[in-house]
């Protein structure tokens, strides 16, 4: 079982506060494919509220297309930064969308970009130069993309998967292997050396770049041995390439990275994301990446995770989904009769404990990550003509927000339905109580501590004190504190508390159980 909730660190909070309030670096805050279909992506709406976001999805869902669209959001000055293998300091759609003579060029497309910018032109309708403003790129039938030169300016760098190709397999590197010469120090080599060392848990005594023409070759020294990119691992090469590029570029740039985890083992991936967060804050940069790694997803705040799915003629960016949900979707399809979607793994554990086994064996309980993510899942279900058997179960504290969740679902589905309110009611239910599940579980176990006292082998008064400490720990921190005081893992604590609820308060779940049975019998 994964963490109870993603716990935002102080670093995350600093990043979010800076990013949301920064208008000096022209951050990309939304991508919306408003009209048309561009390489399989249509009607996409992707809001961006964190400086480092990860995009996951099945092959062919449009991840790489979204990266290309992001790169094409910006123009640049002639003296702007350009990667060593680039002729120009900016990208156009022709850099990414290349057609064979028998292919039809995309047309009839409208893409809307939102930017946090502090130098918008003052007009009769726009009185403020500092705001989140909009630019639109269009490609009419038979025409070209509109107004490239009027795009807002920013350094933007695309880092593709070619970074992991070993230099020993690159023909240009082999051809020029004796011509690579050291470049003059740039002042950031030590920073790159230290960062890569922390990620790979390896001590480097030296790092520098050599170059020939537009090609670069890293040189490093570790344990007294010098070695070049010809003798580095793929992940090591990739890390030196990524961080050298980041530090070469002036502050405030956008970096777009395809399949960010390539070449790195799991622990290195986690440390990589942590280092990228630090670099985002230090160098005021923004990063948009794709990933096939569950571990990368787990290292990102909920609103920095996007799972891309194509539902009919719409590309849906599901924000805030759990890593478990996203990557179960990438694996083989389950064969259970009813899908039950909940907000988090506490709700999942609770339902798994209280629902009778003969029913539980026939359903699939998945947690998605948030109430908003549940609304997006509902909207996707509403769009489908072949409506699968499914039930959305919100946390108890969402009862008072039912109208908001219903309206969000309807807006997101973009489908007119006179019977929508009844459909929504048939597809939704709520956990007991009027608060988040961790607190509700703690309160109920405190009211009837005898059962949990027996399950946990803890004296009743001591257990009550431990529960009180868990409640004082605050929202979504309850089980961290309780597990620590009981001397067990968080997963074990969740299991014991939910088992106690299943014995003492199973009757409070009658409505949920009945609704699942209705779905099974349809």
> Does residue 148 form part of some domain?
yes
Positive or negative, the CA dihedral 264, 265, 268, 269 is positive
pLDDT of residue 385: 57
pLDDT of residue 2: 42
Residues 426 and 473 grouped into a single domain: no
Residues 414 and 449 grouped into a single domain: no
> Does residue 349 form part of some domain?
yes
Nearest to 51 by CA among 251, 266, 325: 251
> Does residue 314 form part of some domain?
no
Residues 212 and 72 grouped into a single domain: no
Residues 339 and 453 grouped into a single domain: no
pLDDT of residue 387: 61
CA distance 172 to 211: 12
pLDDT of residue 1: 39
Nearest to 51 by CA among 185, 224, 246: 246
384 is written with which tokens? Answer: 């489908």
pLDDT of residue 335: 56
415 is written with which tokens? Answer: 């489908």
CA distance 49 to 341: 25
Strands 338-342 and 363-367, bridge-based pairing? parallel
> Does residue 324 form part of some domain?
no
Question: Can you give the pTM of this predicted structure?
Answer: 0.73
Q: Could you write out the DSSP letters of every residue in 204-250?
A: -SEEEEEEETTEEEEEEEETTEEEEGGGS-HHHHHHHHHHHHHHHSP
Residues 181 and 42 grouped into a single domain: no
281 is written with which tokens? Answer: 């804050």
**Residue showing tokens 């599940």:** 437
User: How remote is the C-alpha of 437 from its chain's centroid?
Assistant: 24
Residues 54 and 123 grouped into a single domain: yes
Torsion, CA 222, CA 227, CA 232, CA 237, rounded to 10: 90
Residues 98 and 213 grouped into a single domain: no
SS (H, E, C) 158-196: EECHHHHCCHHHCHHHHHCCCCCEECCCCCCHHHHHHHH
Residues 369 and 452 grouped into a single domain: no
> Does residue 150 form part of some domain?
yes
- The count of domains in the chain is 4
Torsion, CA 264, CA 301, CA 428, CA 365, rounded to 10: 30
Residues 456 and 419 grouped into a single domain: no
List of the chain residues with pLDDT < 50: 1-4
Domain span including residue 424: 332-432+509-521
* Integer angstrom CA distances of residue 239 from 159, 160, 195: 11, 13, 9
> Does residue 321 form part of some domain?
no
Nearest to 137 by CA among 37, 34, 46: 34
Residue 41's DSSP bridge partners are: 38
pLDDT in tens, 300-340: 998 999 999 887 778 989 888 878 778 877 775 555 688 89
CA distance 246 to 260: 14
CA distance 146 to 227: 48
> Does residue 309 form part of some domain?
no
402-413 vs 371-383: helix axis angle to the nearest 10? 40
Residues 124 and 31 grouped into a single domain: yes
pLDDT of residue 333: 53
Residues 405 and 517 grouped into a single domain: yes
> Does residue 4 form part of some domain?
no
Stated as kind and residue range, the H or E segment containing 317 is: strand 314-319
Cβ-based neighbours of 159, under 8 Å, separated by 6 or more: 241, 242, 245, 255, 256, 257, 258
Nearest to 429 by CA among 328, 320, 512: 512
SS3 content of the chain, % helix, strand, coil (to 5): 45, 20, 35
Mean pLDDT of the chain: 90
In terms of Cβ atoms closer than 10 Å to its own Cβ (0-12, 13-18, 19+), residue 10 is exposed
Residues 85 and 155 grouped into a single domain: yes
Q: What is the CATH number of the domain that holds 405?
A: 3.40.50
pLDDT of residue 301: 93
């Amino acid at each position: 079982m994964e963490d109870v909730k993603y716990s935002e660190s102080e670093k995350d909070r600093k990043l979010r506060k800076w990013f949301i309030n920064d208008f000096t670096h022209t951050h990309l805050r939304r991508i919306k494919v408003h009209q048309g279909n561009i390489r399989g992506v249509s009607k996409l709406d992707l809001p961006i509220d964190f400086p480092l976001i990860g995009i996951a999805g099945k092959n062919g869902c449009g991840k790489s297309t979204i990266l290309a669209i992001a790169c094409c959001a910006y123009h640049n000055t002639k003296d702007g930064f350009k990667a060593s293998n680039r002729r120009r300091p900016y990208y156009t759609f022709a850099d990414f969308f290349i057609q064979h003579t028998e292919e039809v060029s995309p047309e009839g497309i409208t893409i809307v970009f939102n930017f946090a910018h502090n130098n918008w032109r003052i007009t009769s309708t726009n009185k403020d130069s500092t705001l989140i403003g909009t630019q639109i790129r269009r490609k009419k039938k038979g025409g070209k993309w509109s107004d490239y030169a009027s795009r807002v300016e920013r350094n933007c760098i695309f880092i593709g998967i070619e970074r992991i190709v070993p230099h020993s397999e690159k023909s240009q590197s082999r051809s020029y292997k004796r011509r690579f010469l050291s470049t003059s120090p740039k002042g950031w080599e030590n920073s790159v050396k230290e960062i890569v060392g922390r990620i790979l848990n390896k001590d480097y005594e030296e790092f520098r770049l050599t170059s020939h023409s537009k090609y670069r070759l890293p040189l490093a020294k570790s344990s007294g041995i010098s070695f070049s990119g010809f003798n580095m691992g793929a992940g090591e090469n990739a890390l030196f390439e990524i961080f050298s590029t980041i530090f070469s570029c002036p502050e405030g740039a956008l970096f777009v990275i395809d399949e960010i985890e390539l070449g790195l083992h799991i622990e290195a991936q986690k440390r990589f994301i942590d280092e990228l967060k630090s670099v985002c804050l230090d160098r005021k940069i923004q990063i948009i990446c794709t990933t096939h790694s569950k571990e990368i997803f787990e290292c990102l705040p909920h609103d920095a995770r996007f799972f891309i799915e194509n539902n009919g003629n719409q590309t849906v960016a599901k924000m805030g989904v759990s890593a478990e949900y996203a990557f179960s979707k990438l694996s083989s399809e389950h064969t259970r009769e009813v899908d039950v979607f909940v907000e988090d793994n506490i709700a999942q554990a609770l339902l798994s404990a209280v629902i009778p086994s003969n029913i539980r064996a026939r359903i699939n309980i998945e947690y998605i990550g948030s109430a908003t993510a549940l609304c997006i899942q509902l909207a996707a279900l509403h769009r489908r003509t072949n409506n699968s058997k499914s039930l959305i179960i919100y946390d108890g504290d969402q009862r008072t927000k039912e109208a908001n969740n219903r309206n969000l679902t309807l807006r997101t589905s973009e489908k007119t339905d006179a019977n929508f309110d009844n459909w929504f009611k048939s597809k939704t239910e709520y956990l007991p109580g009027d608060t988040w599940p961790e607190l509700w579980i703690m309160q109920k176990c405190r009211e009837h501590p005898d059962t949990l006292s027996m399950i946990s082998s803890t004296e009743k008064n001591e257990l009550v004190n431990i529960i009180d400490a868990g409640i004082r720990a605050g929202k979504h921190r309850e089980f961290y504190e309780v597990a620590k005081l009981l001397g067990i893992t968080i997963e074990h604590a969740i299991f014991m508390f939910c088992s106690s609820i299943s014995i003492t308060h199973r009757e409070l779940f009658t409505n949920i159980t009945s609704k699942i049975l209705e779905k099974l019998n349809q």
